Structure 1
Amino acid sequence: MKIMDDSPPPTGFTIAAPQLFDGTAMRGPALVTISCGLIESVGFGDPPSRGITALPADAILAPGFIDIQVNGGGGVLLNDEPSEAGVRRIVEAHRKRGTTGCLPTLITDRTDVIERLAAVAPAALQIPGVLGFHLEGPALNKARKGIHLESEIRVPNERDLAAIKSFGRCGHSMVTLAPECVTTSLIDDLIGAGLRVSAGHSDATATQIKRAADRGVTGVTHLFNAMSQLSSRDPGVVGAALDDERLFAGIICDGLHVDPISLRVAVRCKGRDGLMLVTDAMPLVGTDQRHFLLQGRRILLQGDRLTGPDGTLAGAHLTMMQAVRNAVALLGVAVADALRMASRTPATFLGLESQLGAIAPGYRADLIAFSSKFEVIETWVAGQPSLASSMP
């Protein structure tokens, strides 16, 4: 990538892209003009002589990736560092790998840990790339706990609820819970507080999931993992998620959490507008480390697989750029469809479809440029570059 004058990109500048995914289809070559953090225009033809960021010949410019489930990165686990500094390190590690918007995710933990994050959440929300927060737990089903600490799984008490509901005022935040383990009034309270609610770590029946969707539950967290499965006479959470068009489903596309056949079934059922790529990333992303501690348990990285002492999968060692590449290879979808599942679809789930997930006038200039080999060239958040292209 080169800038065709000697100064850094000013408030207003134009990106010349050989190929452009605008949120719907591949187009190009194209010229995207950015002013005051927003996309001012998308055009075609010869670029002007100055103020141009010219991308390499094989580059694709696309809406920045949105990851609604990111537990850590850059050596930081959010549960260990629920602070502004911790959030910033996680966000920066993932931004270098294509994520321009995310929900830093706190897994099941003590009440005081939830409260600590709640106290800093309004300030942390000002960090470029933070769209809100994801509280995964504590109201999960112990039968489907996965790597979550069983001793901390619980129906939220009054202190928990006060802290959790405060996230409803912090951007576009969400809660994962097991609907069969809580009252419908609790779901109503969370939604009424401004939170999106997703079903996950759940042993619910399909009927229970349908009733939860009737109450306003709109998501399913990491489809196929830590939930009741689809069988001939008991569709479970998986069957309900695949069947119900009201439910968005996140999926970990690393080839480890979900078999490629199941991935392809999911995309055929949910389509690119119902299935969202997520990383469920842990702190080793962006580091050379091979292990970390998760609430006192040693988690090992072997290849790309993270496991606890008993062999349980412990999140993923995955970036959104890798997830897009894997979606093309494992799901057999077009690059445009993989990009939509990484940007437009999660933006819609979060209620941000008029601001993010497309390259069109009036949208925020959250963008990624990457090569034909799915290597990040540069990212922009509100028009500001990360200088990722200068990384070794």
Structure 2
Amino acid sequence: MSDGNQVTAIVHAKLVTPHSVIDNGVIVVKDGRIAECGSHKEIAVPEDAFIIDAEGQYAGPGFIDIHCHGGGGHWAWEEPYLFALSHLKHGTTGILPTLFYNQSRENMLEGVRNVVQMEKQPFSSAIVGMHLEGPYINPKYGAITSPIRPPDPDEYHALLELAGDRIKVWTLAPELPGQEEFAEAAAKYDIALSVGHSEADAETIFSFVRYGLQIGCHCTNASGTTPSPSRYGGTREVGVDEAVLVHDDIYAEVIPDANGIHVRPLMCKLIYKTKGTDKVIIITDGMDTAGLPSEPGDPFEDVNYVEGLGLSGSRLTMDRAVRNMMRHTGAGIVDAFIMASLNPAKVLKLDKEMGSLEKGKRANIVIVTGDIEVKQVMLEGKLYKEG
């Protein structure tokens, strides 16, 4: 079995690149990186290579999930390593443990500390940073509102001092007092800001782009549709989601569950059509139940539904999310991998290291069927085997 140090060759694969699918492709892996990648007519397989036969299936870059709270029965901030492993087997080779807005100041600090201090173990490099969803969001749009709070300089400076640029994404509601000062502090660490749980008007959202606002958090979920009463009877104002759709420099996160509960299939298609392949990011918004089996015929099979609270995240893993996005929008496999791998790598500024099959990048590779059923997962040249 490949251990990441020996030369490995993936053969008989349909290679999913950002431009096309290369039939009968070859990937040569050495020292945890892609040494060669292309058609079998162009790439020589080293004689001493450990061979992985893809058997005509698709080989693409591992998925990157920038918004995920849990999985496999584990919360991301409590058991970050076990959380990451639970998603790795579903093809996610890059993940951001995502802390909730419903955590107290003490719990937020402890959770960030758990991720920062995580002991290095095999496959732990799947964790590529962290995402803080709040707590500086609009309480009108939180399922659990009591811990939501205004920006607190003492708190956010403590978090920044503790984690710095390991915080890759931070979700905020720009309309709240004190957010510009917070955004300026976050910008020093090159953190991608995300507008979410918000009713900010378009002008306010656009004004935060200079601070690094690059993401619309789980579009069409928990966002204001009309930031102010309609000025003219029978007309619609521009809300958060419309502002995200129209701005060329903002990516749109999408949670594509099977039954279109988070985002209706037609809305998925509208977001995909409006933003274009290069500005959509597929996410799971997974809870601790993500990846666990659901009851046959359960209409909420991909959704975390809490009695009394309603919709609260998902049970999705990225393989299922990608499959659903393709079904809802008609996107082909090349576009699907761009939205699930390359785009998140770009927003995290990690695209020189991961996100596509290119020579010199980390050998983070997933082999899947045309219906995105995961057959093999490789992280930095090492094959992942559960257990």
Fold shared by both chains (TM-score > 0.5): yes
Q: Aligned residue for 2:105?
A: 111
Correspondence 1:54 to 2:52: yes
Q: Aligned residue for 1:204?
A: 200
Correspondence 1:228 to 2:224: yes
Q: Aligned residue for 2:281?
A: 276
* CA-CA distance at 1:233 after TM superposition: 4.1
Structure 1, residues 326-352: CA drift from partner, whole Å, max 9, x if none? Answer: 111101111110111000010011111
Supply the AA of the counterpart residue of 2:52. Answer: A
Supply the AA of the counterpart residue of 1:223. Answer: C
SS of the residue 1:28 aligns to: strand
* CA-CA distance at 1:103 after TM superposition: 0.3
Query: For 2:129 and 2:54, how far apart are their aligned partners in 1?
Result: 33
TM-score with structure 2 setting the length:
0.89
Q: Where does the alignment leave 5 or more consecutive residues of structure 1 unmatched?
A: 291-299
SS of the residue 1:364 aligns to: coil
Q: 1:302 to 1:224 in 2, by over 3 A?
A: closer
SS of the residue 1:97 aligns to: coil
Correspondence 1:189 to 2:185: yes
Moved more, 307-316 or 352-361: 307-316
Percent identity reads 28
Moved more, 253-262 or 226-235: 226-235
Q: Aligned residue for 1:40?
A: 35
Moved more, 340-349 or 221-230: 221-230
Q: How does 1:293-372 map to 2 (within 5 A)?
A: 302-372=300-370
Q: 1:257 to 1:155 in 2, by over 3 A?
A: same
Correspondence 1:98 to 2:91: yes
* CA-CA distance at 1:51 after TM superposition: 2.1
* CA-CA distance at 1:169 after TM superposition: 2.7
Supply the AA of the counterpart residue of 1:26. Answer: V
Structure 1, residues 164-216: CA drift from partner, whole Å, max 9, x if none? Answer: 31365353521101010143121111111332211100011112111122433
Correspondence 1:13 to 2:8: yes
Aligned counterpart for 1:139 among listed residues 136, 144, 164: 136
Q: Aligned residue for 1:295?
A: none
SS of the residue 1:313 aligns to: strand
Query: For 1:236 and 1:58, how far apart are their aligned partners in 2?
Result: 46
Supply the AA of the counterpart residue of 1:20. Answer: L
Q: Aligned residue for 1:239?
A: 242
Q: 1:158 to 1:8 in 2, by over 3 A?
A: closer
Structure 1, residues 217-264: CA drift from partner, whole Å, max 9, x if none? Answer: 111110111112279541111111000011111110112101111111
* CA-CA distance at 1:16 after TM superposition: 0.9
SS of the residue 2:292 aligns to: coil
Structure 1, residues 71-108: CA drift from partner, whole Å, max 9, x if none? Answer: 00111123xxx34xx00111000011110001010101
Aligned counterpart for 2:127 among listed residues 123, 127, 130: 130
Query: For 2:197 and 2:222, how far apart are their aligned partners in 1?
Result: 5
Q: Aligned residue for 1:297?
A: none
Supply the AA of the counterpart residue of 1:32. Answer: I
Structure 1, residues 121-147: CA drift from partner, whole Å, max 9, x if none? Answer: 3333852200100110100101111x2
* CA-CA distance at 1:118 after TM superposition: 2.8
* CA-CA distance at 1:49 after TM superposition: 4.9
Query: For 1:64 and 1:285, how far apart are their aligned partners in 2?
Result: 18
TM-score with structure 1 setting the length:
0.87
Q: Where does the alignment leave 5 or more consecutive residues of structure 2 unmatched?
A: none
